[in-house]
Amino acid sequence: MTVRVRIAPSPTGNLHIGTARTAVFNWLFARHHGGEFILRIEDTDSERSRPEYTENILEGLRWLGLNWDDGPFFQTKRLELYKQAVQTLFDKGLAYRCYTTAEELEALREAQKARNEAPRYDNRHRNLTPEQEAAYKAEGRNFVIRFKIEDEREIVWNDLVRGKMVWRGSDLGGDMVIARAAADGIGLPLYNFAVVVDDMDMQMTHVIRGEDHIANTAKQILLYEAFGAKVPEFAHTPLILNQEGRKLSKRDGVTSISDFKRMGFTAEGLANYMTLLGWSAPDSTQEIFTLEEAAKQFSFERVNKAGAKFDWAKLDWINSQYIHSMPVDKLTDLLIPFWEEAGYQFTGGRERPWIEQLVTLIGPSLTRLVDAVAMSKLFFTETVEFSDEASAQLKQEGSSATLKGVIAALENHQLTEASAQEIIKQVVKEQNVKKGLVMKALRSGLTGDLHGPDLIQSWLLLNQIGLDKPRLLQAVEVAS
Ligand code: GLU
């Protein structure tokens, strides 16, 4: 048996972190077993589905490296199949038309509420006579198509994450709606029905999805049985929780993969982090691995039942590991869009070799790609703003003379690493000041700050784009 699994997002929003994590687990499981991972777009909700969300979902999955083997299949292109499936259930006497109006359903719900009962459809149109149906039709009532669910039924499955699951038919809210009406008969299918028809047709062996679908699974198993089809294995993965232990939501800042991308997470780092949202490797100290490496070790035995807390610090740490080990040219490619977005111009000597030197300089200090914007601002602006600390440093006795000494020395030197050291030595001697003072004055003058990346390398970069001397002159103004 070849393992076949799928991710089946609804294009009613951007690719959500929860869906992406479910995609990761499906992908890992498929790759572990040499199976197939299929992409299906569940777009039957015509009011909320949008093509731009589909685009965002495909782009996000590709970006994360979750390549799929077949699809994307679109449910809206498969309507004929669902119609045939509804007809099959009619033919078997397992489905019927229900003409109950919205008002009648509302009244039913109210009455149930008043009696402190859970809301459920009371199956009132399960056995209409042809005359009753004709009468409702004559009234101009619309209908939905319902599938019969027996209250006494017990539904049992062995969930690969949660173990033995037992549901009762009476917990499922009465006969379920599987499709709406259409002018010519059977209209759009509902989620639970279309999913089963597709999963049967696409020969899914395992259904791996978020635990919010558990109640659907009970209904879906009844549908498989009605069709006489083999029921796939189910694995319900834990929810992703925020720090307060509640389901991660928009209020937590980000929910979609494109948001994480914009915040400066790398695809590899985010994908790596997602594998750990509910799963751990057999050697639980191992936390850094590519998707391929995780796939080798993946099994549902090591997926938690409990919700997975989203840990920003860990995501940051993992992300920084990927950034720090990335080749300079690749990191450069990733950083350029962030600089462009910030409006930085690659003019005045800021060509690729220079940019790569800048990346070499700041790369080791980055946690998120976007950090590069603030960290390299001084290399993209003509004048620099001095921090309070830097201004105070520049106003210290000896700073002004030191800076003037450096400016003068620059006239006679082509700046290199060696000559920079030479200039510093020379100024220390001439001005009879401590080397520490020269270094601090230089750093404050060149970068506007007392902290930052390697000073000599920063100086060299500024020198290559002709910014060191103007900066030092600007600093002398502050100093005197
Ligand atoms: N369209 C459903 C969702 O986005 C798919 C659930 C399933 O995997 O069956 O939640």
Report the CATH architecture of 328-379: Orthogonal Bundle (1.10)
pLDDT at residue 12 is higher than 90? yes
Cβ-proximal residues to 68 (8 Å cutoff; 6+ apart), any chain:
7, 37, 38, 39, 61
Residue 204, both tokens: 């899914």
Q: What are phi and psi of 380, to 5 degrees?
A: -115, 5
Q: From the CB of 23, is ligand 1 less than 6 Å away?
A: no
Q: In 3-state terms, what secondary structure has residue 342?
A: coil
- Categorize the per-residue pLDDT at 183 as very low, low, confident or very high, splitting at 50, 70 and 90: confident
The pLDDT, as a whole number, for residue 186 is: 87
- Categorize the per-residue pLDDT at 251 as very low, low, confident or very high, splitting at 50, 70 and 90: confident
Return the closest-CA partner of residue 237 out of 8, 4, 15, 18: 18
Q: Residue with the nearest Cα to atom 5 of ligand 1?
A: 8
β pairing state of 233-237 and 240-241: unpaired
Q: How many A from CA of 224 to the centre of ligand 1?
A: 17
What tens digit of pLDDT does each residue of 295-335 get? 999 999 999 999 999 999 999 999 999 999 999 999 999 99
Sheet harboring 70-74: ordered strands across?
A: 4-7, 36-41, 70-74
| Rounded Cα distance, 167 and 155, in Å | 5
- Categorize the per-residue pLDDT at 247 as very low, low, confident or very high, splitting at 50, 70 and 90: confident
Report the CATH architecture of 80-192: Alpha-Beta Complex (3.90)
The pLDDT, as a whole number, for residue 459 is: 98
Sequence ranges of the chain with CATH classification 1.10.8.70: 328-379
Cβ-proximal residues to 90 (8 Å cutoff; 6+ apart), any chain:
96, 145
- Categorize the per-residue pLDDT at 372 as very low, low, confident or very high, splitting at 50, 70 and 90: very high
Whether 250 is a known active-site residue: answer yes
Residue 238, both tokens: 């834990």
What tens digit of pLDDT does each residue of 331-354 get? 999 999 999 999 999 999 999 999
The pLDDT, as a whole number, for residue 182 is: 85
What tens digit of pLDDT does each residue of 349-371 get? 999 999 999 999 999 999 999 99
| Averaged pLDDT for residues 55-59 | 98
Q: How much of the chain exceeds pLDDT 70, in percent?
A: 100
Alpha helices (runs of H) in 244-311, residue ranges in sequence order: 257-262, 267-275, 291-297
The pLDDT, as a whole number, for residue 168 is: 97
Does CATH number 1.10.3720.10 belong to domain 1-68+238-325? no
Question: Mean pLDDT, the chain, as a whole number?
Answer: 96
| Rounded Cα distance, 237 and 210, in Å | 5
Q: From the CB of 22, is ligand 1 less than 6 Å away?
A: no
pLDDT at residue 215 is higher than 80? yes
Q: From the CB of 9, is ligand 1 less than 6 Å away?
A: yes
Q: What distances in angstroms separate CA 398 from CA 392, 456, 470, one per listed residue?
A: 12, 20, 20
| Rounded Cα distance, 147 and 86, in Å | 9
Return the closest-CA partner of residue 435 out of 415, 456, 457: 456
| Averaged pLDDT for residues 247-251 | 81
Which class in CATH covers the domain with range 388-479?
Answer: mainly alpha
Q: How much of the chain exceeds pLDDT 90, in percent?
A: 94
pLDDT at residue 1 is higher than 90? no
Residue 51, both tokens: 């093509």
Q: How many A from CA of 85 to the centre of ligand 1?
A: 20
Whole-angstrom distance between the N-terminal and C-terminal Cα of the chain? Answer: 81
| Averaged pLDDT for residues 422-433 | 95
| Averaged pLDDT for residues 240-257 | 86
H or E stretch covering 236: strand 233-237
Sequence ranges of the chain with CATH classification 1.10.10.350: 388-479
pLDDT at residue 46 is higher than 90? no
Return the closest-CA partner of residue 350 out of 338, 368, 366, 336: 336
Residue 206, both tokens: 């395992």
Q: How many A from CA of 245 to the centre of ligand 1?
A: 23
Q: From the CB of 213, is ligand 1 less than 6 Å away?
A: yes
Q: Residue with the nearest Cα to atom 10 of ligand 1?
A: 9
Full-model pTM: 0.93
pLDDT at residue 253 is higher than 90? no
Q: From the CB of 199, is ligand 1 less than 6 Å away?
A: no
The pLDDT, as a whole number, for residue 248 is: 85
Q: What distances in angstroms separate CA 69 from CA 30, 53, 178, 414, one per listed residue?
A: 10, 21, 29, 57
- Categorize the per-residue pLDDT at 18 as very low, low, confident or very high, splitting at 50, 70 and 90: very high
pLDDT at residue 250 is higher than 80? no
Return the closest-CA partner of residue 218 out of 201, 236, 204: 236
Sequence ranges of the chain with CATH classification 3.40.50.620: 1-68+238-325
For 368, what's the count of Cα atoms within 13 Å in the CB-facing half-sphere? 18
Q: DSSP characters for 158-210?
A: EETTTEEEEEEGGGS-SSEEEEEEETTEEEEEPHHHHHHHHHHHTT-SEEEEE
Residue 20, both tokens: 């992406």
β pairing state of 95-98 and 144-147: antiparallel
